[in-house]
Amino acid sequence: MSLQQSLDPVASASAPAGGATVRAPIADDKAMLRAARDLTKDLYEAKGAIYWPDMLLSAGTGYAAIAGAILTQNAALAVVLGVIGALALYRALMFIHELTHVRKGSLPGFRLGWNLVVGIPLLTPSFMYEGVHVIHHKRTQYGTVEDPEYLPLALMKPWTLPVFVIVALLAPIALMFRFAVLVPLGAILPPVRRIVWQRFSALSINPEFRRRPPEGELTRRVFWQELGGFVWSWVLIGSVFVLGWKPLLVALAILSLTAVLNQLRTLVAHLWENEGEPMTVTAQFLDSVNVPPPGRIAEIWAPVGLRYHALHHLMPSMPYHSLPEAHRRLHGELGAESSYRQANHPGMVFLVGKIARNTMSRGRMPR
């Protein structure tokens, strides 16, 4: 995940690399939508017995691996532990996506627990996603300039793809600067506070997105989560004077790898082929990506149900542990020519290649 401002280099290339292409609108596949509704009615219960152990074990493994990477004198072992830590914390961090969609009251205490164990320690509390990600699922706003999580990457210049991924390396430093410096400045200077909230308070990839002021219950959560992030960021900075630079630098390096992993996953979560027009539900589904079994590696780079991202766009409130069964039912029910099958792709390498070929072909189009 990267802060909106860290993607400003990509913004300069946000116009399509070639001339605009007029696409015929995709009509809704009513048979698929009906099947998605009728075949999965019993799969919407979020099970705390799955959520809590998964999140806690992932976070515990990640923190233990970071501690091991800091303490060991063996460089090779430090690298191995660093990779394990990045992958484990990546999985723990991805529960922020579930917090946005889970039905209110279905997981008592999970939001608070996740923020205390993962969100605040990683300087990515849940308010940075809550109230933002839901816009990405609104039928009239998905893929438009109002969507905080959409850029027409497949229609942009080829160099934007590596920039989009590499810039995520700066995310941990950007987050530390936000909470340690910008939050206290904003408390003193309202104009700073307004800018920080509008531009630097959402896990957004659209540089044109401006966040609206928080409302209702979110306002209180923002206060406490920002206070926790402020205190923790200065604990991290202060640790340098007690423990030296190595622990903080190792932790930042591991978290940078986590951010890059997520940015790679984001790169292949959609086909990014929409040029700003509202889309039907089926069109949004086909612009999104499933990477279902039999391949197993997708569970590593797209954890907590994100390998079924297209299916998630059909049923946003379905808990992550139910998505494999929902996929099995729909895949078995719908024919080979159905829209559902068209959203299934073999893996990350295939998807990166597909998006890259689209950017290059656009670049060769006559101006």
> What are residue 308's DSSP bridge partners?
290
Q: What gap in Å lies between CA 182 and CA 110, rounded to an integer?
A: 28
**How is residue 179 annotated by DSSP?**
I
Helix, strand, coil shares of the chain as percentages rounded to 5? 60, 0, 35
The CA-atom distances, in angstroms, between 246 and each of 126, 187, 253 are 28, 31, 10
The CA-atom distances, in angstroms, between 339 and each of 164, 273, 344 are 29, 17, 10
Task: Dig out the tokens for 188 from the structure.
Answer: 């003193």
Q: 3-state SS of 214-244?
A: CCCHHHHHHHHHHHHHHHHHHHHHHHHHHHC
Nearest Cα to Cα of residue 30 among 363, 302, 277, 285 = 285
Q: Which amino acid is at 24?
A: A
| Coil/strand/helix, residue 344 | strand
Q: Is the pTM of the predicted complex or chain greater than 0.85?
A: yes
In this predicted structure, what is the pLDDT of residue 24?
61
- Domain residue spans in the chain? 4-363
Q: What gap in Å lies between CA 183 and CA 188, rounded to an integer?
A: 9
Output the tens digit of pLDDT for each of the chain's 367 residues. Answer: 444 434 344 444 444 444 444 456 788 889 999 999 999 999 999 999 999 999 999 999 999 999 999 999 999 999 999 999 999 999 999 999 999 998 888 999 999 999 999 999 999 999 999 989 999 999 899 999 999 999 999 988 889 999 999 999 999 999 999 999 999 999 999 999 999 999 999 999 999 999 999 999 999 999 999 999 999 999 999 999 999 999 999 999 999 999 999 999 999 999 999 888 889 999 999 999 999 998 889 999 999 999 999 999 999 999 999 999 999 999 999 987 889 999 999 999 999 999 999 888 864 443 3
